[in-house]
Chain A
Amino acid sequence: MKRLLALIAALAVMTMVLTGCGEEKAAEKVLKIGTMSPLTGPYAADGNDIRQGAEIAIEVIKEQGGIEGFDDIQIFPQDTACDPKQAVAAANKLINDEVTGVVGAYCSSSTIPASETLAEENIIMLTPASTSPKVTERGLTNMFRTCGRDDHQAPAAVKFMKDVAGVKSIFIVDDKTTYSQGLAEGVAAAATAAGIEVKEHDHVNQGDKDYSAVLTKVKAANPDLFYISLQNSATGALMMIQAKRMGVDAILMGQDAVYHPKLVEIAKSAAEGAFCTFGAIDKDAEAFKTFVSKYKAKSGNEPGAYSAYAFDSAMAYLLAVKAAGTTDAAKVRAEILKLDFTGASKQVSYQENGDSGSNYTVYQVKDGKFVPYWNSLSGEKY
């Protein structure tokens, strides 16, 4: 008997939740934007960076007087847990919430299926962090990317290795994600083409903490440079600590995922002198300074690697809506393509396919800080 009641209750609750009884219809016109990023699970750190970045963009716009025609701007953060299934569920949830623009997702493997769902309802999606070339190469008109692309990052990194660092041989390690492996393969190919010997391209698994086996291999191979392509900064830090302890004396080089204040905080002296590629950021720009001060005030942390991109993605969308005066996807897209503004991460402007161009710069860790070292576009040292 209890069971039948339970069944009825469960069904009733389901219907209520699913049809969204709880939503009150607001009379005022609200601009709704969603964020999608992993708020739980192993990549929760980066996911929170993204959410907070987008929240700050809304704050800034509100302070500037909001957007004409809209009474309020609301944000709907959704968790993807870096799982394609949850990403699609989150996308559908956002569609139900009637958002018109989405900032996200983090993992390329979440962004790709979610963007297809959002495309069905013509919702603009701007990813601040998915660097896989496939993201913008599927002919979707709703997809934009504020960060760089792996196939631009790899040549930039190799150019640095050859022209600036002058290395003859490298050893590559990745941790088998769409992002890290794609990038590592790009580096391997570009390095071979540039005449740098790739001693070995090895892999570790996500969730590993012990890298001693692969580091022993690195030490035995004795390369000039050790290229670390891991999914996030914490694992990058673990790799660097263990490399130093093992006595690997090759130059350490990482990619954009390790560009995070937490890397230095965890790896401490082990990260000293390590290089990494990340988009050029003008730290003297007004937009960047306001962003950092607001970010610190809000979260108590330094902004993470993708916070600035998330901020710019949300900004780009809000500015485009402001210019278009509507949330109609086609008009907003036209406005986004016209944009050219100084964001927190870079000068933001989008190309026809949704990319915003890459401006990778090599940074070096010096006295616990990332210091710009060499610009891949101009080919000059700072």
Chain B
Amino acid sequence: MEFFIQQLINGITLGAVYALIALGYTMVYGIIQLINFAHGEFFAAGGYMGVILISYLAAQGLHPYACLGISLVLSMGYCALLAMAVEQLAYKPLRQASRLAALLSALGMSIFLQNGLMLTQGVYDKPYPTEITAGGFEWGLISVSYMQIFIVGLTAVLLVALNILVFKTRIGRAMRATSQDKVMAALVGINSNRVIATTFAIGAALAAAAGIMVGLYYGSVNYSMGFVPGIKAFAAAVLGGIGNITGALIGGLIIGMVEIFAAGYISGEYKDVFAFVILIGVLYFRPTGIMGENVDDTRV
């Protein structure tokens, strides 16, 4: 029983990490129907910015929590700027082109950013000052670290905040309008380019927050860290119904849980197989994901 509860806790944490990355994925997809392969790189860049800033601020003698807070905000800002630059350069000119052209442009950007990180930050893993958030609770065999609670809490807060943003604010209304029909939105006076840029910025800021959380939780960052979680988060976003914010959370939790329970009860080497089989199974019966609405048939 304790074994099960511990695995459940592990699963929720991993699911929350995937959900954090998937939120950004799903927002960008929702607005321009683009699988943004570079999203995983925003996540990695956020992780790096976090460690760079934390070590710098800590060396200036700031309180660890102050370091963490300031770094979190600055890294999110940094990734927002990065994402806006990428959007302007690599995606905006292709908005009228076929969707595959934009997809490949995104893939090129992903390779470019990943190697840019490698060249500026080196090939070695960068250690995170994990002692800031060390510690946790223990009951017998079960242990929960503060970091796990923090990650799950942050995911929940961001989820609520995003839902408010999208459904209750002006910019959210503009986002929804743009995602449904860009021409119509433009006609009623929405600057769709600005809305799309804002969405990219928000998505990347979320990825940066996820990057710092992952760095603090696992203890290090490296330049290729965005790739695997990027694919998993993409799977989570699709599973939940791509473009749907609550769906991203549900998808992330399912993928995380399946992986942990498959590794815990069956076999660690086949855990990803189980995750993808569940994904395919769900999509077979619900071709637009768990929370997805019936989208029009869109061509590749």
Contacts and interface: CB of A to CB of B under 8 A. Distances in A.
Interface of A: 40-42, 44-45, 47-48, 173, 176, 202-205, 207-210, 212-214, 216-217, 219-220, 234, 237-238, 241-242, 245-247, 262, 265-268, 270, 301
Contacts of B267: 202-203
Contacts of A262: 124-125
B123 A241 contact: no
Given A209-B214, A266-B125, A176 B269 contact: yes
Contacts of B131: 268
Contact of A45 (B7, B124, B145, B271): B124
Contacts, number: 103
Contacts of A208: 228
Interface in B138-177: 138, 141, 143, 145
B278 to A, nearest CB: 16
A164 to B, nearest CB: 29
Interface residues of B, number: 42
Contacts of B264: 213-214, 216-217
B219 interface: yes
B54 to A, nearest CB: 15
27 contacts: A45-B124, A45-B125, A47-B123, A48-B123, A202-B268, A204-B263, A205-B269, A209-B214, A209-B218, A210-B10, A210-B218, A210-B259, A213-B268, A217-B264, A219-B6, A219-B141, A220-B3, A237-B219, A237-B220, A238-B219, A238-B220, A241-B219, A265-B127, A266-B219, A266-B220, A268-B130, A301-B124
B234 to A, nearest CB: 15
A245 B228 contact: no
B30 to A, nearest CB: 27
B18 to A, nearest CB: 10
B218 A216 contact: no
A214 B14 contact: no
B136 interface: yes
Contacts of B238: none
Nearest to A299: B122
Contact of B224 (A42, A217, A238): A42
Given A220-B141, A241-B130, A242-B219, 8 more contacts: A207-B227, A210-B14, A212-B260, A216-B264, A220-B3, A238-B220, A266-B219, A270-B219
B179 interface: no
Contact of B123 (A45, A202, A267): A45
Contacts of A216: 3, 6-7, 10, 264
B268 A266 contact: no
- Most chain-B CB neighbours within 10 Å: which of A48, A214, A220, A245? A245
A196 to B, nearest CB: 22
B263 A237 contact: no
